[in-house]
Amino acid sequence: MTTEQDSLIEAMQQVFARQRQAFAAQPMPDAESRRQMLHGLGKALVAHQQALIEAIDRDFGRRSADETRLAELLPSIEAVHYARKRIRRWMKPSKRRVGAAFQPASARVIYQPLGVVGIMVPWNYPLYLAIGPLVGALAAGNRVMIKMSESTPATCAALQQLLGELFDTAQVAVFGGEVEAGIAFSRLPFDHLLFTGGTGIGRAIMHAAADNLTPVTLELGGKSPAIISASVPLRDAAERIAFGKAFNAGQTCVAPDYVLCPRERIAELVDELHRQLSHMYPSLLNNPDYTRIINQRQYQRLRQWLDEAASAGAQLIEINPAAENLEGSGLIAPTLVLDAPADCALLREEIFGPILPIVPCDSLDQALSYIAERPRPLALYFFGYDRSEQQRVMQHSHAGGMCINDTLLHVAQDDLPFGGIGPSGMGHYHGHEGFLTFSKAKGVFIKQRFNAARVIYPPYGGRLLKLVYRLFIR
């Protein structure tokens, strides 16, 4: 480990101690102070938007500015506004019922901040996946430490500047650094740790957090399927799948990872996907709308998986309308994959790129069985206008979230919880669920002077106690 990394880890530990001390001095920030923090955050995001767009573009080598606005700035700012308007309501204690045997008394739940929250951010949406959980943690009254990915140093610097102008590090602090710094970050005794990233790393994060009994929210990934019904117009389905797959060049944890399509409709689906993608991206090489694969390691991984599938007999349909030479550009053309063997990486692993295998099926039940036999995905997409089929898919599938006749956009709904299930993650955040995730819901039972419970105190055997038994144990 380098001296620079040693210094960074020491700085993390010092900031953590400062935040712990600051939280102890102010363990229950009032609603107005929380609202003011979020108000400042929203204004700063608007003011710094160009710097953030340029930083993300540098990290990717080329990132569509509109994709950054749509997928990072817009939902971050909306999350700020949504939480700010609702903080008072969320903080209000909720009244609960007291059983007749324990009257007179009252009960309520109060929502207290947890303390110091850690947020570990991946590289694919480095702004939104930092700001989204930050909003929930601040709305709940916490102090926050953010660890950015080593793959997004420019975005890390831009966020350090933005948040450094708004907050003292005793309230919010942002750290960069390499893998060693991330490991050290995960080992800090946070009051809650949220990690977004791959399933394998998620297991290591959970293990590190377990040593401190730190509760975790894990937002992972997996192979999110799209099911095509026997009757849906394929133009409708193809347009929406093409958008979800090619957005950010497929580097999205909820991107449709593969399509389950009725066998007899595959040729038509391929034609429609080709048509839609060619319309969206008539050229690739110098098209600012089409995003680059973030780094050489990820690029090589995707190329190797394509080569493996081709060697095993799969048909690769590259959608490159202008027939451009993409060699050395860091770009991968949208690619449809037919007849891939079940054991190849493209059908085993989360793809995280603009590659879409199409898997034949003979019925909706067979498609649902195919999904049920595999690890539970982060998202599931169904395309069909038959209401009974929609209901069947909702009730007979498990996934972190779902869209019917769309892709991706459930994540942008502030009033829906977002989170995985099983290998695709655990826990939820966004909106009210984010406030609850970063709060301790403390149950409080309240009695005043009169103590009716005296009848259940020893010595036992009195007539009133026997009456209690007759009335309530029946």
Q: Which of 186, 200, 244 is nearest to 380 (CA)?
A: 244
Residue 122 has pLDDT above 80, yes or no: yes
Same domain, 197 and 283: no
Residue 453 has pLDDT above 90, yes or no: no
Distance CA 389, CA 197 (A): 32
Q: How many domains does the chain have?
A: 2
How many CB atoms are located within 10 Å of the residue 370 CB? 15
Is residue 466 assigned to a domain? no
Same domain, 134 and 250: no
Q: Say what the pLDDT of residue 6 is.
A: 86
Average pLDDT over residues 120-132: 97
Same domain, 270 and 140: no
Q: Which CATH number goes with the domain that contains 360?
A: 3.40.309.10
Q: Which CATH number goes with the domain that contains 112?
A: 3.40.605.10
Kindly report, residue by residue over 301-359, the tens digit of the pLDDT.
Answer: 999 999 999 999 999 999 999 999 999 999 999 999 999 999 999 999 999 999 999 99
Same domain, 245 and 186: no
Q: What does DSSP assign to residue 281? A: -
Average pLDDT over residues 201-223: 94
Kindly report, residue by residue over 371-421, the tens digit of the pLDDT.
Answer: 999 999 999 999 999 999 999 999 999 999 999 999 999 999 999 999 999
Same domain, 85 and 159: yes
pLDDT band at 254 (very low <50, low <70, confident <90, very high): very high
Q: How far is CA 216 from CA 94, 212, 304, 426, in A?
A: 25, 11, 33, 8
Q: Say what the pLDDT of residue 75 is.
A: 96
Domain boundaries, position 240: 225-419
Is residue 448 assigned to a domain? no
Same domain, 289 and 367: yes
Same domain, 166 and 40: yes
Q: Say what the pLDDT of residue 95 is.
A: 96
Kindly report, residue by residue over 134-162, the tens digit of the pLDDT.
Answer: 999 999 999 999 999 999 999 999 999 99
Same domain, 259 and 209: no
Give the rounded percent of residues in the chain with a pLDDT score beyond 90.
Answer: 92
Is residue 241 assigned to a domain? yes
Q: Say what the pLDDT of residue 196 is.
A: 96
Q: Say what the pLDDT of residue 391 is.
A: 97
Catalytic site residues?
219, 253
Is residue 105 assigned to a domain? yes
Same domain, 317 and 273: yes
Is residue 451 assigned to a domain? no
Q: Say what the pLDDT of residue 381 is.
A: 98
Backbone phi and psi for residue 317, each to the nearest 5 degrees, phi listed first: -115, 100
Same domain, 257 and 172: no
Same domain, 310 and 178: no
CA 238 to chain centre: 25
Q: Say what the pLDDT of residue 1 is.
A: 56
Average pLDDT over residues 459-474: 87
Q: Say what the pLDDT of residue 471 is.
A: 86
Same domain, 212 and 247: no
Is residue 46 assigned to a domain? yes
Is residue 449 assigned to a domain? no
pTM greater than the 0.85 cutoff: yes
Is residue 469 assigned to a domain? no
